[in-house]
Amino acid sequence: MGGSSGVLAGALLGAGAFCAWWSCWVRPVRLARVPRRRLRRALDAAGFASLPPAVLVLACTGCAAAGLLLVPALTGVLVAAVPAAAAGAVAPVVLLRSRARARRAGRAQEWPDVVDALASAVRAGSALPDAVCALAVRGPQRLRPAFTGFAVGYRASGAFEPELAHLQEELADPVFDRLAATLRMTRQVGGSDLGGTLRTLSAYLREDQRARGELLARQSWTVSAARLAAAAPWLVLGLLATRPGALEAYDTPAGALVLGGGALATVLSYRVMVRLGRLPEPRRVCS
């Protein structure tokens, strides 16, 4: 009886010491939110700010399930279901990133005009909030809805910085992050040379677009050829699948090894090609 009491007392003492030690460390609560935050940023950059991240997860799951079920049913090769499911799972993310890059490229051509319009309004004597609100009418057509929302929110609340932060989240653009930081600093500490700063920023953006356009034009044919080389074996495999019994050789362990090795080689080579050929994208440093 006394031995059991000693064991129980020792266990309680050990549990208490462990709880005291555990309370001294800060649990990384935010780490669980990192994937959700990345999905949120990806949706915002692609123009789907109203969609919850769960929709993207469901889309990836649905595409993976479709590849897992349809490909074996059409080809009769069970092994082909695994690469088909993997391709289906990443397809929505790839399309989302492609749309985000296209939106950034389209907006990049319009930001110098936005900065010029702001500089002209400030030089004409308009207040900074009024100059930003005027972009809802005088700004580029593609960006007017966002600035219209800013104008409505500012006129309702009169709070410049919160509405500017909301506009920054809606646009999710690295160029506007720099512009918003300039406007926010001018609003907080004041500045008499805002017009000159905006003109300098506009000239820098135009020069960056010119240089980036030349580089993209020079490497576009190389990237297109590499993509065609990566897709060609799978196009041939798809053509073979149209003939009955042509893919039966892959429904064996050796065939599965060939398919798996080919899929791995295709993914790795494509990722290396993208890494070497893509220009570095501007990052959001104020998000």
- Given this model, what pLDDT does residue 27 score? 47
pLDDT in the model for residue 94: 85
- How many residues appear in the chain? 287
By the 10 Å C-beta count (0-12 exposed, 13-18 middle, 19+ buried), 147 is classed as buried
String of DSSP letters for the chain: -HHHHHHHHHHHHHHHHHHHHHHTS---GGGGGHHHHHHHHHHHHTT-TTS-HHHHHHHHHHHHHHHHHHHHHHH--STTHHHHHHHHHHHHHHHHHHHHHHHHHHHHTTHHHHHHHHHHHHHTT--HHHHHHTHHHHS-TTTHHHHHHHHHHHHHH--HHHHHHHHHHHH--HHHHHHHHHHHHHHHH--S-HHHHHHHHHHHHHHHHHHHHHHHHHHHHHHHHHHHHHHHHHHHHHHHTTSTTTTGGGSSHHHHHHHHHHHHHHHHHHHHHHHHHSPPPPPPS--
Q: Are residues 32 and 24 in contact, defined by beta-carbon separation less than 8 angstroms?
A: no
Give me the pLDDT at residue 107, please.
79
pLDDT, tens digit only, all 287 positions of the chain:
444 455 455 555 556 665 655 555 544 444 344 466 778 878 877 878 788 888 888 999 999 898 888 877 877 777 777 778 888 888 898 888 888 888 877 777 888 888 888 888 888 888 888 888 988 888 888 888 889 989 998 888 888 888 888 888 888 788 888 888 888 887 776 656 777 788 888 888 888 888 888 887 777 777 787 778 888 888 887 787 777 777 777 777 887 788 788 888 888 887 887 777 777 766 766 65
At which residue do the structure tokens 């490909």 appear? 71
Look at residues 125, 122, 171 and name the one whose alpha carbon lies nearest to residue 147.
171
pLDDT of residue 31: 36
The confidence score (pLDDT) of residue 12 equals: 57
Instruction: Give residue limits of the domains in the chain.
Output: 33-108+249-277, 111-209
Give the chain's end-to-end CA distance (angstroms, integer). Answer: 63
What contacts 253, CB < 8 A, 6 or more positions away?
A: none
Q: What is the pLDDT of residue 19?
A: 60
pLDDT on residue 146: 87
Whole-angstrom Cα distance, residue 279 to residue 214?
12
In angstroms, rounded to a whole number, what is the distance separating the alpha carbons of residues 251 and 76?
9
The answer to whether the beta carbons of residues 251 and 78 sit under 8 Å apart is: yes
pLDDT score for 2: 47
The count of other CB atoms within 10 Å of the CB of residue 280 is: 5
